Chain A
Amino acid sequence: EVQLVESGGGLVQPGSSLKLSCVASGFTFSSYNMHWIRQAPKKGLEWIALIYYDSSNKYYADSVKGRFTISRDNSKNTLYLEMNSLRSEDTAMYYCAKSGTTRGDFDYWGQGVMVTVSS
């Protein structure tokens, strides 16, 4: 059974940093591209970052480019999102998601972790 479990969220002040983790199980983690997607309270879904299976390529939404860094450790089956210079508009539920091969869909999602940026 595929499982994705996020952690590391919380309440932080504007301008601060936070690192999210997503531990994967139930599939060969090192073979799949992975994503971070977020959802502000009562809002829709926003894709924010993609990392290839071998970390060879990384892509970001303009809203987080230069502030967030996606990474992975295939030996630990873990995906990361390092978030710097956090703003109030970064307040959201953050989901990690597995890529459905090369189709570009997200075939499995974690339960999400909440990040609140507020003074």
Chain B
Amino acid sequence: DIVLTQSPALAVSLGQRATISCKTNQNVDYYGNSYMHWYQQKPGQQPKLLIYLASNLASGIPARFSGRGSGTDFTLTIDPVEADDTATYYCQQSRNLPWTFGGGTKLELK
């Protein structure tokens, strides 16, 4: 199985940039696409897709969110951070079954 590793928590100030990382133990690239996706989950809610294929913004997601990376190293950036962005963020790979998620990064405000 592909293992995805995220830092457990990150604290940033309002209006600053938040960078959340996700590292995989296997390459998730295939024929020019990186099969890495990002989700936001607020307490008591279902996850919401933010970014698909590493860098594509999902429908309705503000441009403050962006994703980049390839191979085994990926980042989700939120710039600028707003109060409503406090949540847990998960990366997920779909290069190989079983699809797997990172452990999640909880974003908090300083």
CA distance A95 to B101 in the complex (A): 14
Prevailing SS type, chain B contact patch: loop
CA distance A46 to B104 in the complex (A): 12
Interface string of B63-76 (1 = CB under 8 A from A): 00000000000000
Q: Total interface residues on B, using CB and 8 Å? A: 27
Chain A interface residue number, banded: 20 to 34
CA distance A111 to B47 in the complex (A): 9
Contact present for A47 and B99 (CB under 8 Å): yes
Contact present for B47 and A105 (CB under 8 Å): no
Given contacts A44-B103, A46-B101, contact A109 B90 (CB under 8 A): no
Contact segment of B12-20, B48-56, B78-86:
B48-56
Given contacts A44-B90, A45-B90, A61-B98, contact A103 B47 (CB under 8 A): no
Contact present for B47 and A106 (CB under 8 Å): yes
Q: Is A15 on the interface with B (CB-CB < 8 A)?
A: no
Q: Is B100 on the interface with A (CB-CB < 8 A)?
A: yes
Contacts of B52 in A (CB 8 A): 100, 103, 105, 107
Contacts of B45 in A (CB 8 A): 111
**B contacts, CB < 8 Å to A:** 33, 35, 37, 39, 41, 45-49, 52-53, 58-59, 90, 92-95, 97-104
**A contacts, CB < 8 Å to B:** 35, 44-47, 50, 59, 61-62, 95, 100, 103-112
